[in-house]
Amino acid sequence: MKADFHKMIVLTAPSGAGKTTLVKHLLETYDFLDFSISACTRPRREHEIDGKDYYFFTPQEFKDKIASGGFIEYEEVYENQFYGTLKSEVNRIWESGKSIVFDIDVKGAINIKKLYKEDCLTIFVKPPSFDILVERLTNRNTETPASLKKRIARIKRELKYETRFDAVVVNDLLEVAKKEAEYLVENFILGKPFID
């Protein structure tokens, strides 16, 4: 079986659906995958590392990068908080011979799919229910009440995008969701058939 590594896997989901956990799982499972580190202008969270989780840019640095054509896509995901995929990340990973995993919002995912078409698999990670998602997000304790409110409003909008992606993984039981994500990746990259 021959692997085709010049590929992209985009995981997208409403905030708190657990896509970051699935992204980490895929990166730990397959050494032919590497993570596209996005640039963003939001403040760094305590556990995050600059250059590993994100490149934390100032608003000016972000604007300069837009002006110099450095992004494949970018979005103002929350008011005054910009996130973007760097062309340099795609080049870095493909030049290393690996395929790319993205953790980005629904609009970014749709834009990347438009650009890369059959080289790109988009996976929508769906929470078991809206209430569970809100509960997870609240328990995460990373948001202020104001930003939590904004995120919840956004979740409602994002859940409507489900049908726009190549595949949907429901993140109810994490172990099942991990296996489903593995099947999708192996089928797409290694050309393995699905097992029913």
Interface ranges with ligand 5GP (CB under 6 A) = 15, 38, 42, 73, 75, 77, 83-85, 103-105, 107-108
By beta-carbon proximity to ligand 5GP, the closer residue of 100 and 186 is: 100
Neighbouring C-beta atoms of residue 32, cutoff 10 Å: 14
Q: Which residues make beta-bridge pairs with 8?
A: 100, 120
What is the H or E stretch that residue 102 is in? strand 99-103
By beta-carbon proximity to ligand 5GP, the closer residue of 30 and 54 is: 54
By beta-carbon proximity to ligand 5GP, the closer residue of 26 and 77 is: 77
Residue 141's SS3 state is coil
Half-sphere exposure of 180 (CA within 13 A, CB side): 18
Residue 136 CB, nearest approach to ligand 5GP (Å):
12
What is the H or E stretch that residue 3 is in? none
Neighbouring C-beta atoms of residue 87, cutoff 10 Å: 15
Residue 10 CB, nearest approach to ligand 5GP (Å):
10
Residue 1 CB, nearest approach to ligand 5GP (Å):
31
Residue 15 CB, nearest approach to ligand 5GP (Å):
5
By beta-carbon proximity to ligand 5GP, the closer residue of 24 and 192 is: 24
Residue 73 CB, nearest approach to ligand 5GP (Å):
6
Give Cα 97 distance to the centre of its chain: 20
CA distance 18 to 1: 31
Residue 77 CB, nearest approach to ligand 5GP (Å):
4
Do β-strands 33-35 and 99-103 pair in parallel, antiparallel, or remain unpaired?
parallel
Neighbouring C-beta atoms of residue 61, cutoff 10 Å: 12
By beta-carbon proximity to ligand 5GP, the closer residue of 7 and 65 is: 65
CA distance 190 to 101: 15
